[in-house]
């Protein structure tokens, strides 16, 4: 019965809510979440006067902010944590799936989605800064959508309350989502290690849980570890891709020609495939950069900034790193391989085959290790996000924080040894519900973020 309910909600959130017919006999299936996120991104891009393009230099300058106390986060550290969760297996397997289903043109629509997603990320991160509060357990600050939704509802009701329904629903949805993601993480890592090193999934799962437990059960170890591994993994992946591009530079004009030709679907429209090109690119862009889902604001709230808009600019830059840089790296690795060599392949098998073509067995091992680092950092990031939601729901007690960490570790172990459980769908339902509650709050609250943007631009 429960599984059937979860499946129904999943299909409502992620299934094709409407079908738009296209020339050539194809159609575009649009889900409820696409209907929410795309108009929201366009609206905030216009309201911020194309902030991602206009204020890109300011995004870089915002990273230089320093913190006043040792337990709070700097702007750069908040970017590291949000990047840890954004840059995950979606940047590898997800991009492979999008390009496999939608062709090279899907990459262009990922780029467009990143631009509009950056504006949404700015609004929600700035609001998280405005509505943050001190964290008595970990030190520094905490916040996120559960907190700014709470303040919005208090303002509308005209009185103070301990809980607000929509804030509670957001917090619960987040905790459910992150438990589901824990399972998907360990399953992907275990599968890639089995393919690359012939290590049984059970052994990989045990090792992953032990390493994770040592880190997340210590008070401040999560942030310290992320500070180290996230820059290393992102830079290594970027430079390996640059090397592959340099070796195949003669093919670049043809690759970019394919991306732009297929993006507008002249050939695909005739063949009835333009919908796949557009929607695969859009979906991958949206759900890789997480803009609008309400996850990254949990990191943004923890940052110590002299102006709230700076936290927004930092998170807007995070969307750029995730989609324009890391997702594009994966796409280039695939598109620089002869099409006949990877025809019929999908998922990690396709990506490992592409890396084998470029770098031999080293490439296969490199992708397995990269997936491990991407996924492991995602797990650490979501545990950090969970802090504020657990505190909102259960108060400031270490027992509740520890119990959630143990639950996430159990899910991490189960995911590594089980090929599939309904909890995976539950994770997708969780992030879908988070997005709905968050987007509903962003519109009435966005005026506050836009005022902070005006104040920032006057000062700079």
pLDDT at 272 over 50: no
- Strand, coil or helix: what is 87? coil
| Token representation of residue 265 | 């679907």
Residues 6+ apart with CB under 8 A from 438: 124, 145, 149, 170, 292, 293, 294
Burial 230-269 (b: 16+ CB within 10 A, else e): beebbeebeebbeebbeebeeeeeebeebbebbbebeebb
| 449 vs 129: CA distance, rounded Å | 9
Helix (H) or strand (E) holding 254: helix 252-263
Please tell me what DSSP assigns to residue 89.
Answer: G
Provide the CA 300 distance to its chain's centre, in angstroms.
14
pLDDT at 65 over 50: yes
The answer to whether 335 and 258 are in contact (CB under 8 A) is: yes
The answer to whether 291 and 85 are in contact (CB under 8 A) is: no
- Span 117-141, average pLDDT: 91
Radius of gyration of the chain (CA): 21
The answer to whether 334 and 345 are in contact (CB under 8 A) is: no
pLDDT digit string, tens, across residues 380-393:
888 889 999 999 99
Higher pLDDT, 268 or 128: 128
| 3 vs 21: CA distance, rounded Å | 32
Residues 6+ apart with CB under 8 A from 74: 65, 66, 67, 303, 304
- Span 334-360, average pLDDT: 81
Q: What angle do CA 204, 206, 208 make, to 5 degrees?
A: 65
pLDDT at 177 over 90: no
- Span 270-286, average pLDDT: 52
The answer to whether 88 and 378 are in contact (CB under 8 A) is: yes
Sign of CA dihedral 347, 350, 354, 355: positive
pLDDT digit string, tens, across residues 201-211:
888 889 888 99
pLDDT at 450 over 60: yes
| 335 vs 251: CA distance, rounded Å | 9
- Strand, coil or helix: what is 99? helix
pTM: 0.89
- Picking from 140-154, 295-309, 369-383, which range would have the lowest pLDDT averaged per residue? 369-383
**Burial tier of 128 (Cβ tally within 10 Å: 0-12, 13-18, 19+):** buried
- Strand, coil or helix: what is 20? strand
Closest CA to 112 of 38, 28, 16: 38
* pLDDT at residue number 67: 65
Residues 6+ apart with CB under 8 A from 123: 44, 48, 312, 442, 446, 449, 450
Query: What is the percent of the chain with per-residue pLDDT over 90, rounded to a whole number?
Result: 25
- Span 93-112, average pLDDT: 77
- Span 279-303, average pLDDT: 74
Task: Tokens 């300058």: give the residue.
Answer: 61
Mean pLDDT taken over the chain = 83
| 148 vs 131: CA distance, rounded Å | 6
pLDDT at 269 over 80: no
How many H helices and E strands in the chain? 22, 4
| 310 vs 199: CA distance, rounded Å | 45
* pLDDT at residue number 424: 63
**CA of 134: how far to CAs of 40, 79, 137, 357, in Å?**
30, 19, 9, 51
- Span 355-380, average pLDDT: 85
Please report the DSSP string for 197-238 in residue order. H---HHHHHHHHHHHHHHHHTSSSHHHHHHHHHHHHHHHHHH
């Amino acid at each position: 019965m429960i599984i059937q309910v979860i499946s129904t909600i999943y299909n409502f959130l992620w299934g094709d809510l409407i079908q738009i017919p296209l020339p050539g006999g194809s159609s575009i299936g649009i889900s409820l979440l696409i209907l929410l996120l795309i108009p929201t991104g366009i609206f905030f891009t216009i309201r911020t006067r194309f902030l991602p393009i206009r204020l890109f230099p300011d995004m870089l300058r915002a990273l230089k902010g320093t913190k006043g106390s040792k337990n709070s986060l700097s702007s750069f550290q908040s970017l590291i944590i949000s990047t840890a969760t954004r840059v995950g297996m979606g940047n590898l397997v997800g991009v492979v799936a999008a390009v496999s289903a939608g062709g090279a043109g899907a990459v262009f629509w990922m780029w467009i989605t990143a631009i509009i997603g950056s504006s949404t990320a700015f609004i929600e991160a700035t609001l998280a800064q405005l509505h943050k509060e001190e964290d008595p357990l970990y030190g520094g600050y905490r916040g996120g959508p559960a907190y700014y939704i709470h303040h919005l509802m208090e303002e509308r009701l005209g009185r103070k309350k301990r809980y607000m329904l929509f804030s509670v629903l957001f917090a619960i949805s987040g905790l459910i989502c992150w438990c589901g993601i824990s399972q998907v993480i360990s399953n992907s890592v275990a599968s890639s290690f089995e393919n690359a090193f012939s290590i049984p999934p059970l052994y990989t799962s045990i090792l992953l849980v032990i390493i994770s437990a040592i880190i997340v059960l210590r008070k401040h170890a999560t942030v310290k570890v992320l500070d180290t591994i996230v820059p290393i993994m992102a830079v290594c992946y970027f430079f390996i891709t640059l090397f592959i591009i340099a070796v195949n530079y003669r093919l670049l004009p043809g690759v970019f020609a394919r991306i732009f030709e297929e993006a507008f679907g002249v050939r695909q429209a005739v063949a009835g495939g333009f919908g796949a090109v557009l929607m695969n690119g859009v979906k991958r862009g949206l759900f890789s950069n997480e803009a609008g889902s309400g996850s990254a604001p949990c990191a943004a709230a923890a940052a110590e900034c002299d102006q709230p808009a700076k936290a927004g600019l930092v998170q807007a830059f995070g969307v750029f790193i995730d989609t324009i840089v890391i997702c594009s790296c994966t796409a280039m690795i695939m598109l620089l391989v002869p099409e006949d060599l990877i025809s019929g392949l999908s998922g990690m098998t396709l990506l490992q085959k592409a890396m084998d073509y470029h770098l031999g067995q080293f490439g296969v091992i490199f992708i397995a290790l990269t997936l491990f680092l991407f996924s492991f950092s995602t797990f650490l990031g979501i545990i950090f996000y969970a802090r504020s939601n657990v505190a909102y729901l259960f108060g400031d007690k270490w027992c509740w924080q520890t119990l959630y960490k143990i639950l996430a570790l159990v899910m991490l172990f189960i995911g590594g040894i089980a090929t599939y459980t309904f909890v995976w769908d539950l994770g997708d339902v969780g992030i879908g519900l988070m997005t709905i509650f968050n987007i509903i709050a962003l519109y009435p609250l966005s005026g506050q973020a836009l005022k902070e943007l005006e104040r920032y631009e006057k000062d700079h």
